[in-house]
Structure 1
């Protein structure tokens, strides 16, 4: 326990407190010996990062309970409703391969704040294959993952506003329309407008 606390940068007393609050899963026991592993260390580092970002212990405990009890991660991340996005299960090694040194507890906490990432037992789940691939490609181009996530948060705000615009238009003028038919039409408008906006911005920057 002392070694785990040292690696996590916390006191043994804090570690015991986290264990009592069930913020970390119980250790594997062999007789009177308790064995902790890398998954416990990763959880402790994530807890520290979440606390630094303003999360409460109660909120973290609820998240930990959901993970450890195997509740549906898709529901936890707001994917209970139908979606065209494909969640992706990852291991810590996968994240390291995709993001290299940017796969830090701080960036993990930021991704959880955005609702991009959750965990299911020992697996990490990303809510969208498209977002994961795009984020990884941007990092490989030299953009820090922290900057990608910050941009993602700004895009999320604008995307919510765009979704509201199209929802209002459809509900006002075509309330009986099939949503599965209207959705791709709205997406095509947004994609075309974004493409034109990027064209304009590139001309300004050259």
Structure 2
């Protein structure tokens, strides 16, 4: 216990307090020896990061208790059926391998705030396999995970606005059951519009580069004249 507390940067008294509040799972015991592992350390670091961002111990304890006692993880993460998203279970080591060097307490706290991550015992649960795959691909391309998460928060606001738009449109002209049946149509509209918008941005960028090259060429001709 003393070694775990030292590695987590807390006192043994604080560690015991977390155990009493149900924030930390019991250690593995061999006789009179209690063994803590990396899962306990990861939980303590996550608790510290959440506290730094203003979360209360009571709120953290409620989440930990619900998850550790079998409450449905999809429901906690807001992806209760019907949904097209597939939650993914990961060990802390598997998560670290996907985002090598980027799984910091700050990034973990940001992902928890977004609802991307939850915990279920010793496992971490990501809200969506698609979002997990895209996030890890962007990080592999050299984009810092902190910026990916910041972009995700901005996209969430736009996505909520689009969901409101389509929900209002569909419910004005049909029953609530149509929300699930017609969601592929709404998704297709958003995907097509985003694709077209990206095309426009690419053309604009190329046009600006072309103008810049033309100006430089003209300057060179003038100097030679």
Q: TM-score, normalised by structure 1?
A: 0.94
Measured in 2, the distance between the counterparts of 1:98 and 1:132 equals 9
Asked if 1:203 corresponds to 2:179, the answer is no
Q: 2:53 maps to what in 1?
A: 53
Q: 1:18 maps to what in 2?
A: 18
For 2:100, what is the secondary structure of its paired residue? Answer: helix
- Deviation sequence 1:144-200 (CA, Å, 0-9, x none): 111101100110010000000011111113347733431111111111111111122
Measured in 2, the distance between the counterparts of 1:198 and 1:52 equals 37
Measured in 2, the distance between the counterparts of 1:164 and 1:133 equals 26
Point out where structure 2 has 5 or more consecutive residues left out of the alignment. 207-225
Measured in 2, the distance between the counterparts of 1:34 and 1:123 equals 21
Q: 1:92 maps to what in 2?
A: 92
- The verdict on how the C-alpha distance between 1:123 and 1:61 changes in structure 2, with shifts beyond 3 A counting, is same
Q: 2:34 maps to what in 1?
A: 34
Asked if the contact 2:117/2:125 (under 8 Å) is kept, the reply is: yes
Measured in 2, the distance between the counterparts of 1:146 and 1:176 equals 38
Q: 2:123 maps to what in 1?
A: 123
Measured in 2, the distance between the counterparts of 1:193 and 1:42 equals 41
- Name whichever of 15-24 and 130-139 sits farther off: 15-24
Asked if 1:164 corresponds to 2:164, the answer is yes
Measured in 1, the distance between the counterparts of 2:163 and 2:87 equals 21
- Name whichever of 71-80 and 194-203 sits farther off: 194-203
RMSD: 1.5
Measured in 2, the distance between the counterparts of 1:15 and 1:176 equals 49
Matches within 5 A, 1:69-148: 69-148=69-148
- The number of aligned residues is 206
Point out where structure 1 has 5 or more consecutive residues left out of the alignment. none
Q: TM-score, normalised by structure 2?
A: 0.86
